[in-house]
Structure 1
C-alpha cells in the first residue's frame, strides 16, 4: 500500500514527504502551550461562564464524564474575532461502552474586541506597500507558531490551527493560551495583540477559501438563549480523571519507502495461474484485510507517538470504511461498489450544525496512542470494575464551518459539536 495515499497536501523533500497535517504528541512538561492537554481537568475561556451542566453528562447513563482532550482553538485567519476552545469528553463506565452519546464534543467561542479583528488592516495602512516580488513570498509556516511545531519546508498548504496560544513575549503554540481582550485597547495592547496573532496556532496552517454563507434556519436553541442553564457539576462529582499530558506538535512527515534489492543469484518467475496464480492470491489477501485499517495503521506507523491529527477543513484518516462512521464519510464514485473509495474532504457528509444550519467541517481526530497515554497508571483507581477502558480506533471531531457564537463582545457561547467514533474492531 502506498504510504503517500492521502487526502492531504504534501511537499516532497528528499527521503521525506511533509503533509499539511499537524500531529500532536503527549508531553509531561509544558512545551509552549499551557492550555491544550490530554486528560486532567478542563479549564474555561471565562471562569465565570462554564458550560451548561448537562454538557458534563454521558447521554447514556446521565453521569459526569471524563475529559479526553482540551485544545486551544484560535483560528485568526478564519475567525479573527473569535477565541475558541475545543473539548472531547468520554464516559469511562463499562455499560456505556460503544454506545452513541458516551463520547461528546463541545466548542466554546467568545467574541473579542474589534481592535483584534481590525489589527491587521490597521497595520497594513501604516506600513509601506510591499514590492511586487515581496507579494510572491510564501506565508510563514503555521506549524512553527502553533505549538512550536517544526517542519521540513515552509510551503506546506494547510489551514490555521487552534492548538495555539501565546503572548508576544513567548513562542505561540497552537495549543496555547489566549490573552484577555476585553480591556480598552492602548497602543501597547494593540502591539501585543498583533504579535499574538502572528504567533498563534493559526500561523501554522494556511488560509483556506472563505466559508459559505450561513443558512438562516436555526433549528436548536442555543444554551445562552434559553436562560435555563444547569450549573456545571463540582469537581468531586467526577470520577478520577485520566492522566494529564500537555501537547507538543509538528507537521507530519512520511519517510520514503525503500525498494528491496533482489540478490543476483535469485531469479523471479511468474506463477502458474492454474496452480494458484498471483491474481488469485492477491484477491485472497485483499479479502482478508480491511483496506481502510491497513492505510490507517501504515500511516500512523510513520509517526507512532502521535496522539492526535489536526487539519482544519482537511479530511480524517479513517479507521474503517465499513462501520457506521466510515460508511457515512466515504462514498463510492457513481454508486459503483467496485470503484475506488475516497474520503469526503472537509466533512461534507457530517451532520450540519444544529444551531445555525451551516455545514460542519473536519478539524481534528484522536488516534489510539492517546488511549495508552490517558490510561497510564490508572490501575486500581477510578471506577474499579466499572471502568471499561477505552476501545475506540478514532474519534473524529466535526465543527461548525461558521464558528457560530453569540455576537455580544465578551460573551462565551457553548455549542455541542459532532464526535464521530470509530470503535475498535471486535475479535
Structure 2
C-alpha cells in the first residue's frame, strides 16, 4: 500500500537530520489503512473519519455536543484519539467533530472538540495491573542488563590474564544458551499493540502508540458493542499511526514554496501603463484571486513557518504535543491572537466546568486529513465534493490541565464527556 509512511522506511533514514538540535518532541499521526467492514477500530485506536466509539456502548455525549450550532444537523467525526495521561487510572479519548454542510464553514459551533473519560472500577483495576506489570518488566530488564554487564566484565578480564593451562577463554558452554532464561524474547508482552500495523514498513520497526504518554497504553479486548453504527454522518475512515517528528536534510528551507515565486514576482510587477503595483489592486484580485491569496499567505511569517515545517513530513494528519505549542496556520486571525500574547501565555478561556483551572494545548488536526477524510486522493472524485468540502487550515484543541470532570457529569457507568476549547484556523478567502 502506498502511503506517506514510506518516508519512514529504514532505507531512507539518512534523509533525516540526525542533529540533536533538530529533534522534536512532537508526535505526528499519519493515515494508515482504511477502516472497512472487516477491519474496524477499537477504543484504543486513533483514527480519522468513520463512526465514533464511545467509552461505553450505553454512554454517549450530550446531544448538543454532536449538533452543529449553525444548521442544527448532526456533526461528523473528524478524529478520535485514544490519549490516556501518564499514570492516570482511567481511559481517556479526545474527539473532534465537524459539520459536513459547506455553508457552515467559518461559523462558530460548526467544529467541536469533546474529551471523554471512563473512571469505572474495572478500568482502574485493569490499568493498575498493567502499570504494575510495566514496573516488573522494567526491573527485569534492569536485572538482565546488570547480569550481562557483570558477565561481560568477567570475560573481558580473562582476556588479559595469562592462561598457563592452555584453556580457551571462549570455549565451553554458552552461558546465554539456556532455554530457561526468564528474560528471553519469547516472553509475552502485555503492552504490545492490540492491532498490528497495516503497512509494510511498520513490520521493520517497533510500533508506536498514539502519543508519548500512551505508548504503553492499556489494551482491552475488542468488543463489537463499542461501535456506534450509522448514527452520525461520516467521512471516509482511516486508522492513524504515530511516529516522532523528523526533519529532512533539505538545505533549502523554502523548497516547498519555490513553485509560487513566479506568481509573487508577477503580482509585484508594475502593470503596463500604470505606476502602482498589482498587489492589492481590485483588478488583480478579480483577474487572479488565487495569486492574491497565495501572496497574502506568503506575507505571513507564521504561514511560511507552517509550510516549511510541514514539508518535512507532508503526510501528517495530526500533531500531538501535550503542554507544547500549536503550529499556527496564520498569525492574523483570532485563534492566532489567543496564542500570540505579550505575556507568552495563551489566552484560552478557562473551562466552564472547572473555572479555577486552565487549558493547555494538546493536539491539532492538519490539512492533509481533509484529503483522506473526503477521499480526494482517489480516482473519479466528484468536483462537487471538492467545492463543498472542508476549508480549514488546522484545528487546534486545548484541554483542561487538571483533566477534570465533575462527579455529577459521570453516568452510572462512570463515563463522562465535556466540551473542550477548539480553535479553527480557516483558509483565507480570496
Which of the numbers 220, 243, 251 marks the counterpart of 1:250? 243
User: CA separation of 1:29/1:92 partners in 2, compared to 1, >3 Å: closer, same or farther?
Assistant: closer
Shift of 1:58: 0.2
Aligned partner of 1:95 in structure 2 is 103
1:293 aligned counterpart, secondary structure:
helix
Aligned partner of 1:425 in structure 2 is 428
| In structure 1, distance between residues paired with 2:315 and 2:385 | 29
Q: Answer yes or no: is the 8 Å Cα contact 2:210–2:242 preserved in 1.
A: no
1:413 aligned counterpart, secondary structure:
strand
- Alignment of 1:397 with 2:397, yes or no, is yes
| Cα RMSD after superposing both structures | 4.1
Shift of 1:328: 1.2
Q: Please report the TM-score for the alignment, with normalisation by the length of structure 2.
A: 0.59
Shift of 1:321: 1.1
Aligned partner of 2:113 in structure 1 is 105
Shift of 1:287: 11
Normalized per residue, the structure richer in helix is 2
Name which one, 1 or 2, has greater alpha-carbon Rg: 2
| In structure 2, distance between residues paired with 1:426 and 1:360 | 30
Which of the numbers 66, 79, 92 marks the counterpart of 1:69? 79
1:255 aligned counterpart, secondary structure:
coil
Q: Deviations over 1:65-98 (max 9, x none)?
A: 11111111212x1x51120111111111132111
Structure 1 stretches of 5 or more lacking a match?
1-10, 135-166, 176-198, 208-233, 261-284, 334-341
Q: Deviations over 1:34-66 (max 9, x none)?
A: 432111111111001111222210011111111
Q: For residues 32-51 of structure 1, what are the structure 2 equivalents within 5 Å? A: 34=42, 35-51=45-61
Shift of 1:353: 1.2
1:351 aligned counterpart, secondary structure:
coil
- Alignment of 1:25 with 2:23, yes or no, is no
| In structure 2, distance between residues paired with 1:397 and 1:174 | 28
1:249 aligned counterpart, secondary structure:
strand
Q: For residues 368-379 of structure 1, what are the structure 2 equivalents within 5 Å? A: 368-376=367-375, 379=381
Aligned partner of 1:365 in structure 2 is 364
Normalized per residue, the structure richer in strand is 1
Q: Please report the TM-score for the alignment, with normalisation by the length of structure 1.
A: 0.59
Q: Deviations over 1:100-119 (max 9, x none)?
A: 11101111101143535654
User: CA separation of 1:356/1:124 partners in 2, compared to 1, >3 Å: closer, same or farther?
Assistant: same
User: CA separation of 1:109/1:201 partners in 2, compared to 1, >3 Å: closer, same or farther?
Assistant: same
- Alignment of 1:115 with 2:125, yes or no, is yes
Q: For residues 288-299 of structure 1, what are the structure 2 equivalents within 5 Å? A: 289-299=299-309
2:328 aligned counterpart, secondary structure:
coil
1:27 aligned counterpart, secondary structure:
strand
Q: Deviations over 1:212-267 (max 9, x none)?
A: xxxxxxxxxxxxxxxxxxxxxx966644x21111111110011244379xxxxxxx
User: CA separation of 1:389/1:203 partners in 2, compared to 1, >3 Å: closer, same or farther?
Assistant: closer
| In structure 2, distance between residues paired with 1:125 and 1:169 | 12
User: CA separation of 1:48/1:367 partners in 2, compared to 1, >3 Å: closer, same or farther?
Assistant: same
Aligned partner of 1:82 in structure 2 is 90
2:305 aligned counterpart, secondary structure:
helix
Q: Deviations over 1:342-384 (max 9, x none)?
A: 6x4xxx4211111112211111101111111111169559xx7
2:251 aligned counterpart, secondary structure:
coil
Q: Answer yes or no: is the 8 Å Cα contact 1:74–1:201 preserved in 2.
A: no
Q: Answer yes or no: is the 8 Å Cα contact 1:292–1:321 preserved in 2.
A: yes
1:45 aligned counterpart, secondary structure:
coil
Q: Deviations over 1:369-401 (max 9, x none)?
A: 1111111169559xx789831111110011111
Structure 2 stretches of 5 or more lacking a match?
1-15, 147-188, 198-207, 217-227, 254-294
